[in-house]
């Protein structure tokens, strides 16, 4: 595995020269997992309309020495002798192209060095190195080595990210993440556009995943208290590449993926990524997922001033939702813990024959980039999405009687499966959304000052329609009568009947302030405008200031209940979110920064994936507000092979909205929460063929003011005090027929509190994983992965009174080919 990653930018006229180099035998060795198309086919063009390139084009006669020496390396120089030219945050990228310019290759370091990664959206055009905020990246190479199969698996490499299973009537499964202890369920983006759907995201179409920590409403809009998650997808590129893989292993796991890119003409390419997946869950009874997906895309004008990329995404998934095991409080103690900590079988699943999570997701996206001249570029990103979902889940609850029985007569302990407020009852969910983001990037000088202005607008609308169904149990209202043994649960429940539309109307959940309803409809429209200006006061020091205005208009209605009554509510709110960055770049490899940013979260922002917060008593609630103060440093070392980051932050959230898990009621409070701490990361190539990526986070997360005096000083839910990830691989006998890559790593999260009063706790997570692979016949690779090798009882999804056991010890075999 060569030391540096080499990426090329080819100007329009010398495009054929690049192919001539290829044909003459120039071959750049790729890091493990890179396709020959990526390693040798030519330019790493804009992956979509807003994506920035890592390599720079230099006019003839002004090329850096590193560029020429990189070409020498391609011809056979030792990788570790090649000086690296990192990206320079003080110099703005030149968009103009000259047909007479010579092609130059720029070394930008190891594929595992996350500082070289782009974030994946036009509103944040800098790479991670020159972004004044904590950004964690899960790079493509890491996902390949770990055989990552979902967004949740990818995010296990990011400290401070936890998963929640949802709660209350209308509670959701799917991807429900928290960042630094704060909800991020509406802060999931794909190529810079919101993904409004509620589903479990497969990773077959991901290039890499970025997590931008802390309030970022100036860039993303309302929300982002803890941060934002942006998946950067696979896009067409010039040159041809063909890849596929098959995996099989524990718990009847079978998976196949395909990734094909084909160039058509001089500037057009098509790409198709596809996936089929079936698996049960190691350590959990009756839980499985059967899914498939396809993501075709086409790009016009690659390498030219105007580029249009159109992509379609479809994923179908039929899975069993898993709400885990309840918490129990042992007599004589004051803290509730998972029932499995007291000997309950970790395999126990408390669902019924009706439980199902069936989703169909369709998204059509267009990215347009226009480089008007060397100073001005325009970007327009448009997406329409349709989400179809049938959801029925059992949420087990062990009340005081059940809890006491388990410690005296376990066989008598019975859990209710209909949840706190009798739900979530089964429902059919039909959603659609549309979003358009237009942005402009302008670079110019005013006297001695250099500017980069980013401005534009963001318009989005989301619509949610739920049709509710109810159960009947032996001729009675079945919403609370359905119970099963805590120790030996029965999944097939005789006499439990799922009615048709309105058949068992009395079984519908009665939501306080809303009532019972067959249909619940929500919608939200957001119109936003943003502006920022980064000014270089000196070549080494710059200031960036920006703001965003949003007008949020949302509605909720519940109608056609048993009594025929209906309820309708609505609200309009205007929000303003500023940000200020100070950046000092003493050289090409170092940046010191300060970041101050704010975000707001209006009531009802989570239209598609939350309980119904809008009612007569809540319409006037002010939005939650959050502020971030952060200082940090980023450094590229060892000629760009390694990247290091350190940051210290204080995140304050005010006017917190609270959801009562017993009633589903949303209340406003004067609660103020604060999370302060620091984060560290190191990533890249320590020595030739030895890669590592490591992160650590320390959080002092507490409630600092509350109407409930007893909660003051308590730790915030789901925010671990300490967490860390580590992954390393080494390739022995690289570039020989006897090559072997082996490695492994650790995921560690300290135990977390599950409620504001700190009376329920989930234990720490410690997971050891490992891999070994061998490449053969130039294009083929065989790999074996082992997960949770110690078979430790960890917990992945968390909520206030239940946790979901993570996968037990598992092994996967993978065979892949890349051409």
pLDDT tens-place string over residues 425-462? 789 999 999 999 999 999 999 999 999 999 999 999 99
Residue 76 token pair: 């056979």
Closest CA to 371 of 93, 62, 89: 93
The band of 502, judged by pLDDT with boundaries at 50, 70 and 90, is confident
pLDDT score recorded for residue 472: 80
Please identify which residue in the block is written with the tokens 């309009």. 572
- Mean of pLDDT values over 760-782: 96
Most confident of 46-55, 489-498, 807-816: 807-816
What confidence category does residue 706 fall into, taking pLDDT thresholds of 50, 70 and 90?
confident
Q: What is the pLDDT of residue 11?
A: 39
Spatial distance between the Cα atoms of 466 and 447, rounded to a whole number of angstroms: 58
Distance (Å, whole) CA 171 – CA 659: 12
Predicted TM-score of the model (pTM): 0.86
3-state secondary structure 21-83: HHHCCCCCCCCCCCCHHHHHCCECCCCCCCCCCCCCCCCCCCCCHHHHHHHHHHCCCCHHHCC
pLDDT at residue 607 greater than cutoff 90: no
Query: Which carries the bigger pLDDT value, residue 396 or residue 728?
Result: 728
Instruction: Give the mean pLDDT of 505-510.
Output: 78
Q: What is the pLDDT of residue 86?
A: 35
- pLDDT-derived band at 670 (thresholds 50, 70, 90) equals low
pLDDT at position 33 over 90:
no
- Amino acid 611: pLDDT: 56
Residue with the bigger pLDDT between 418 and 446: it is 446
Other beta carbons within 10 angstroms of residue 790's beta carbon come to 10
How far is Cα 558 from Cα 567, in angstroms, rounded to an integer? 5
When pLDDT is averaged across residues 737-764 and rounded to a whole number, the result is: 95
223 closest CA partner among 683, 649, 669, 601: 601
526 has a pLDDT exceeding 80 = yes
Q: How far apart are CA 770 and CA 809, in angstroms?
A: 11
Q: Is the pLDDT of residue 604 over 60?
A: yes
Q: pLDDT at position 527, please?
A: 97
Q: What is the DSSP letter of 370?
A: E
pLDDT at 440: 97
pLDDT tens digits for range 185-219: 789 999 999 999 989 999 999 999 999 999 999 99
User: Secondary structure of 395-464 in the HEC alphabet?
Assistant: ECECCHHHHHHHHHCHHHCEEECECCCCCCCCEEEEEEEEEEEEEEEEEEEECCEEEEEEEEEEEEEEEE
Tokens matching residue 555 = 């509605």
Q: Give the Cα separation of 489 and 346 in Å (integer).
A: 12
DSSP 183-236: E-TT-EEETTEE----S--B-TTEEEEEEEES--HHHH-S--SSEEEEEEEP--
Give per-residue pLDDT as tens, 293-331. 999 999 999 999 999 999 999 999 999 999 899 999 999
Q: What percent of the chain is predicted at pLDDT more than 70? A: 80
> Can you tell me the mean pLDDT for 806-814?
95
CA 23, CA 12: separation in Å to the nearest integer? Answer: 18
Please give the pLDDT value at position 702.
Answer: 94
Highest mean pLDDT among 367-381, 601-615, 699-713: 367-381
**Is residue 347 within 8 Å of 303, Cβ to Cβ?**
no
Least confident of 37-51, 264-278, 528-542, 547-561: 37-51
The alpha carbons of the chain give a radius of gyration, in whole angstroms, of: 27
Residue 788: how many CA atoms within 13 Å on its side-chain side?
Answer: 19
Alpha-helical segments (H) within 587-658: none
CB 227 within 8 A of CB 293: no
Q: Are the C-beta atoms of 16 and 238 separated by less than 8 Å? A: no
The per-residue pLDDT of the chain, averaged, comes to 83
pLDDT confidence of residue 76: 31
pLDDT at 37 over 80: no
Q: Which of 28-37, 77-86, 496-505 has the lowest mean pLDDT?
A: 77-86
- Report how far residue 326's alpha carbon sits from residue 278's, in angstroms, rounded to the nearest whole number: 27
Q: At residue 96, does pLDDT exceed 80?
A: no
Per-residue pLDDT band for 697 (boundaries 50, 70, 90) equals: very high
Q: Which residue has the tokens 């805590």?
A: 486
Domains of the chain and any CATH numbers: 135-818 (2.40.170.20)
Mean pLDDT of 623-648: 95
Mean pLDDT of 374-401: 93
**Under 8 Å between Cβ of 248 and 242:** no
With CA atoms as reference, report the closest residue to 109 among 681, 588, 735, 639. 639
Instruction: Give pLDDT, residue 163.
Output: 83
- Angle, alpha carbons 581-583-586 (nearest 5°): 180
pLDDT for position 49: 37
- Residue 799: predicted pLDDT: 83
Cα–Cα dist 582/571, whole Å = 36
Which pLDDT does position 367 carry in this prediction?
98
CA–CA separation, 345 and 325 (whole Å): 9
**Three-class SS state of 392:** strand
Average pLDDT score over residue span 104-115: 68
pLDDT at 103: 40
- Nearest CA to 198 out of 464, 525, 527, 555 is that of 464
| Higher-confidence position of 814 and 14 | 814
Measure Cα distances from 207 to 11, 96, 424 in Å: 24, 27, 35
Determine whether 527 is exposed, middle or buried from the number of CB atoms within 10 Å of its CB (0-12, 13-18, 19+).
middle
- Dist CA 784 CA 295 (whole Å): 27
- Whether residue 726 contacts residue 755, with contact meaning beta carbons closer than 8 Å, is answered with no
What pLDDT shows up at residue 425? 77
Q: What is the pLDDT of residues 263-291, one digit of tens each?
A: 999 999 999 999 999 999 999 999 999 99
Report the share of the chain in percent with pLDDT over 90: 63
Tell which residue, 811, 800, 796, has the closest CA to residue 284.
796
Give dist(CA 182, CA 177) in Å, integer. Answer: 8
């Amino acid at each position: 595995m060569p030391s540096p990653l080499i990426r090329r930018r080819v100007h329009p006229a010398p495009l054929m020269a690049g192919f001539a180099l290829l044909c003459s035998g120039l071959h750049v060795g790729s890091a493990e997992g890179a396709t020959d198309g990526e390693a040798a086919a030519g330019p790493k063009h804009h992956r979509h309309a807003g994506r920035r390139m890592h390599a720079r084009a230099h006019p003839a006669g002004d090329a850096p020495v590193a560029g020429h020496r990189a070409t020498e390396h391609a011809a056979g120089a030792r990788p570790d002798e090649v000086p690296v030219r990192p990206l320079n945050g003080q110099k703005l990228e030149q968009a103009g192209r000259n047909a007479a310019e010579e092609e130059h290759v720029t070394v930008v370091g190891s594929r595992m060095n996350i500082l070289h990664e782009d974030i994946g959206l036009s509103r944040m055009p800098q790479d991670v190195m020159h972004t004044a905020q904590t950004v964690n990246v899960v790079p493509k190479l890491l996902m390949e080595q770990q055989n990552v199969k979902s967004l949740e698996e990818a995010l296990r490499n990011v400290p401070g990210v936890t998963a929640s299973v949802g709660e209350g009537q209308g509670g959701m499964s799917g991807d429900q993440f928290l960042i630094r202890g704060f909800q991020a369920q509406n802060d999931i983006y794909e190529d810079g556009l919101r993904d409004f759907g509620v589903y479990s995201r497969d990773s077959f179409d991901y290039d890499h995943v970025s997590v931008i920590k802390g309030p970022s409403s100036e860039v993303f809009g309302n929300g982002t208290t803890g941060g934002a998650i942006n998946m950067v997808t696979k896009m067409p590129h010039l040159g041809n590449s063909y890849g596929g893989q098959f995996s099989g292993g524990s718990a009847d796991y079978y998976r196949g993926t395909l990734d094909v890119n084909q160039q058509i003409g001089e500037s057009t390419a098509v790409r198709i990524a596809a996936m089929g997946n079936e698996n049960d869950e190691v350590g959990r009874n009756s839980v499985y997922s059967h899914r498939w997906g396809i993501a075709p895309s086409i790009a016009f004008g690659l390498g030219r001033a105007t580029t249009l990329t159109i992509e379609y995404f479809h994923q179908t998934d039929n899975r069993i939702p898993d709400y885990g095991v309840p918490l129990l409080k042992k007599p004589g103690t004051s803290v509730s813990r998972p029932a499995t900590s007291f000997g309950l079988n970790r395999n126990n699943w408390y669902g019924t024959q009706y439980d199902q999570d069936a989703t169909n997701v369709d998204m059509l996206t267009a990215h347009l980039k226009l480089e008007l001249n060397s100073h001005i570029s325009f970007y327009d990103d448009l997406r329409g999405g349709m989400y179809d979902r049938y959801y029925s889940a059992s949420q087990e609850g062990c009340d005081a009687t059940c809890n006491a029985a388990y410690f005296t007569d376990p066989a008598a302990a019975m859990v209710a499966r209909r949840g706190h407020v009798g739900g979530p009852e089964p429902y059919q969910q039909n959603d659609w959304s549309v979003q358009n983001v237009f942005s402009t990037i302008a670079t110019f000088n005013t006297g001695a000052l250099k500017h980069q202005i980013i401005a534009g607008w963001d318009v989005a609308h989301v619509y949610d329609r739920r049709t509710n169904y109810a159960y009947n149990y032996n001729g009675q209202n079945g919403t609370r009568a359905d119970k099963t043994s805590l120790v030996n649960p029965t999944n097939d429940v005789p006499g439990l009947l799922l009615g048709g539309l309105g058949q068992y109307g009395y079984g519908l959940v009665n939501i306080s302030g809303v009532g019972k309803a067959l249909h619940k409809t929500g919608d939200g429209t957001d119109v936003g405008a943003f502006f920022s200006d980064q000014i270089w006061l000196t070549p080494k020091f710059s200031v960036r200031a920006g703001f965003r205005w949003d007008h949020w208009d949302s509605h909720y209605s519940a109608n056609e209940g048993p009594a025929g009554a209906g309820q309708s509510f609505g609200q309009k709110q205007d929000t303003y979110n500023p940000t200020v960055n100070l950046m000092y770049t003493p050289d090409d490899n170092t940046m010191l920064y300060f970041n101050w940013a704010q975000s707001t979260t209006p009531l009802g922002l989570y239209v598609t994936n939350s309980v119904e917060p809008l009612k007569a008593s809540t319409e006037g609630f002010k939005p939650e507000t959050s502020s971030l103060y952060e200082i940090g440093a980023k450094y590229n070392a060892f000629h760009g092979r390694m990247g290091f980051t350190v940051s210290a932050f204080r995140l304050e959230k005010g006017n917190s909205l609270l959801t009562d898990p017993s009633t589903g009621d949303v209340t406003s409070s004067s609660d103020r929460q604060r999370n302060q701490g620091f984060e560290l990361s190191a990533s890249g190539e320590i020595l030739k063929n030895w890669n590592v990526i490591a992160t650590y986070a320390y959080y002092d997360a507490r409630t600092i003011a509350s109407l409930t005096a007893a909660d003051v000083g308590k730790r915030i839910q789901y925010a671990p005090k300490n967490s860390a990830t580590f992954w390393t691989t080494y390739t022995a006998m690289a570039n020989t027929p006897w090559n072997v890559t082996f490695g492994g790593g650790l995921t560690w999260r300290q135990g977390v509190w599950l409620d504001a009063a700190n009376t329920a706790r989930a234990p720490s997570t410690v997971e050891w994983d490992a891999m070994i692979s061998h490449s053969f016949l130039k294009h083929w690779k065989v790999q074996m992965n082992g997960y949770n090798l110690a078979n430790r009882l960890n917990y992945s999804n968390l909520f206030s009174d239940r946790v979901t056991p993570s996968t037990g010890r598992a092994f996967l075999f993978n065979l892949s080919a890349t051409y």
